[in-house]
Each structure stands twice: as C-alpha cells, then as structure tokens.
Amino acid sequence: MSSWSLSNFSAEKFYSQGAYGSAALILLARACRATLPQQCAFCLAPCGHLLVCTACCESLQKIDSACLQCALPASDGARCGACLARPPPFAAAFAAFAYAFPLDRLLHAFKYGGRLSHAEFFASALCARVAQRPAGTPWPDALVALPLARSRQRERGFDQSAEIARRVARLTGLPMLSGLRRTRDTPAQAALPWKARAGNVRNAFAADPVFAGQRVAIVADVMTTGATLASAADALLRAGASGVEAWAVARTLPPAQPR
C-alpha cells in the first residue's frame, strides 16, 4: 500500500463497519495506529499515531486574526464591520482552519470517500481552536451537530458533522444533544451562488424544547457563507436556547478575500 499505510488502512476498516465511530471501534483504530506504522495523510512521512504529521499540520492555513462572531479575518481580531452592522444569530464562531488546499482534499475524502477516521483529527483541531476563546467568554452547555439533509445522508451512509461532534463531545466533556432537525431537504449549498444561499436554507430547521435555557454550540465540517449555520441557530433560539455558537473545522474565505 504505497499511498496508505497498513495502520491507516486497518483503522479505516474499523471505522467503516457501520457503527459510525462507536467508542469500541475508535479504541480499536487507535490501537492500530499505536502498534502499526502510520503515514501522514498528506506527505506520507512517518507520523506515529497521528493522521497528519506535525510539519504538515503547522503548514495548514489558519485564520490568525478572526472576527469573534463570524470567524472571518478581522484586522484587530474583534468583531468585524459586517457583524457590527448585521450581527448573525450566533454569539461567537470558531474555525480551526481556512478552507484551502490541501485541507479541502482531506475534508473531501472524509465526506465523499467515507474516510471516517479523519473525524478524529478534525475534532482535535477544532477543540484546540475553541480552547483559545477570549478570557471570560462563557463555554456552551451542550453541543449539537448540524444535521445533514436526509437524501445526502442516505447517499453517504453517515452524517459528517455528527461524526465530528461525537468526538468533540468526548474530548470536551460537553453533552451532545439531539433535537435539531431539517424540516425539508434543500439543494446543496455548494451548487448555488453565494447570494442565493441564505434563501435556500431559510426556515429549513426546527429544534425541540430540550434546548430551552441552554447555551449551544453547533458543530459543522465547513462554514461557507454562514447561512446554513445561521438558519440552524435561528431554530435553536426559537426553541429557547439562551445563546448559540458556531464551531466549524474550516471556514471558507469569501471570493473577494485575499488568500
């Protein structure tokens, strides 16, 4: 296996047996990584028990000075002008990386290639970013995964945000709640122009009363325009949530934003 080590392959087989990242399979996958050679998913260099070697991980593009509310670049790392003028429904947003090469390839393999073992790397990176929240910023009481449209979940066989959220819950100790759902299937956001995306997902979510009084973090794989997460946040607030945060593995920079 020239492009995928025995440990990578064995771990992936455990993750793809239909239990969608159950605790037992995750432990077996970790045992494979600890006892068999592991190669970096990017450069194929030996990397011990990690999916990505330290050098490649450090080279992945991050948004160093990000707006506290939308996670896009901001000159002073506070709230950007757009959020001050039209605040999104989430009180804070965090993204571990910018959605750029080569991380986009890793996310693509995860979402469309069924590489469920990648979720552990994404969750660890997301937890590290969220831990850098400004002093005094309250932590959420619970997590919820951004639900995937049913038609796309049937095609893939899993919900990528739920896979990440389960691991984030395990790492942070925060409970993961259910009760946020899509009320209708919508066309994939990636296929639509940026300006059409907000209308595509408007009122596309509903939430149960279980979120009443809770400060909730929505976990997602990619935050593009923020329209989908905003619509989900609106549903949680209507259900009585006291506040909502958006947690994403990667944040897409708008077309006009320099890379």
Residues 139 and 228 in one domain: yes
In this prediction, residue 60 carries a pLDDT of 95
pLDDT band at residue 49 under the 50/70/90 scheme:
confident
Residues 190 and 204 in one domain: yes
Separation of alpha carbons 125 and 245, rounded Å: 17
User: What percentage of the chain exceeds 70 in pLDDT?
Assistant: 77
Q: What is the mean pLDDT of the chain?
A: 83
Residues 27 and 97 in one domain: no
Separation of alpha carbons 169 and 120, rounded Å: 11
Coil vs helix vs strand at 176 = strand
Separation of alpha carbons 239 and 20, rounded Å: 28
Q: What's this model's pTM, rounded to 2 decimal places? A: 0.81
Q: Does residue 131 form part of some domain? A: yes
Residues 218 and 123 in one domain: yes
Condensed to tens digits (0 to 9), the pLDDT of residues 99-130 reads: 999 999 999 999 988 888 899 999 999 999 99
In this prediction, residue 7 carries a pLDDT of 40
Residue 143 sits in a domain of what CATH number?
3.40.50.2020
In this prediction, residue 210 carries a pLDDT of 96
Cis previous bond, 102, omega within 30: yes
Residues 124 and 237 in one domain: yes
Q: Does residue 259 form part of some domain? A: no
Q: Which of 42, 59, 76 is the last residue of a domain?
A: 59
Residues 121 and 240 in one domain: yes
Q: What is the pLDDT averaged over residues 125-153?
A: 92
Q: What is the pLDDT averaged over residues 2-31?
A: 46
Condensed to tens digits (0 to 9), the pLDDT of residues 179-215 reads: 999 987 655 545 545 454 545 566 789 999 999 999 9
Residues 149 and 76 in one domain: yes
Strand positions, DSSP E, the chain: 92-98, 142-145, 180-182, 205-207, 215-223, 243-251
pLDDT band at residue 20 under the 50/70/90 scheme:
very low
Radius of gyration of the chain (CA): 18
In this prediction, residue 202 carries a pLDDT of 65
In this prediction, residue 177 carries a pLDDT of 97
Domain extent, residue 178, equals 62-251
pLDDT band at residue 155 under the 50/70/90 scheme:
confident
Which range (50-59, 145-154, 163-172) has the least confidence?
A: 145-154
Residue indicated by tokens 């794989």: 221
Separation of alpha carbons 224 and 204, rounded Å: 17
248 contacts 164 by C-beta, under 8 angstroms = no
Residue 249 has pLDDT above 80, yes or no: yes
Residue 153 has pLDDT above 90, yes or no: no
126 contacts 118 by C-beta, under 8 angstroms = no
Residue 6 has pLDDT above 60, yes or no: no
123 contacts 143 by C-beta, under 8 angstroms = no
Q: Which of 36, 59, 82 is the last residue of a domain?
A: 59
Q: Tell me how many domains the chain contains.
A: 2
Query: Beta 142-145 vs 215-223: how paired, if at all?
Result: parallel
Residues 138 and 232 in one domain: yes
Residues 49 and 73 in one domain: no
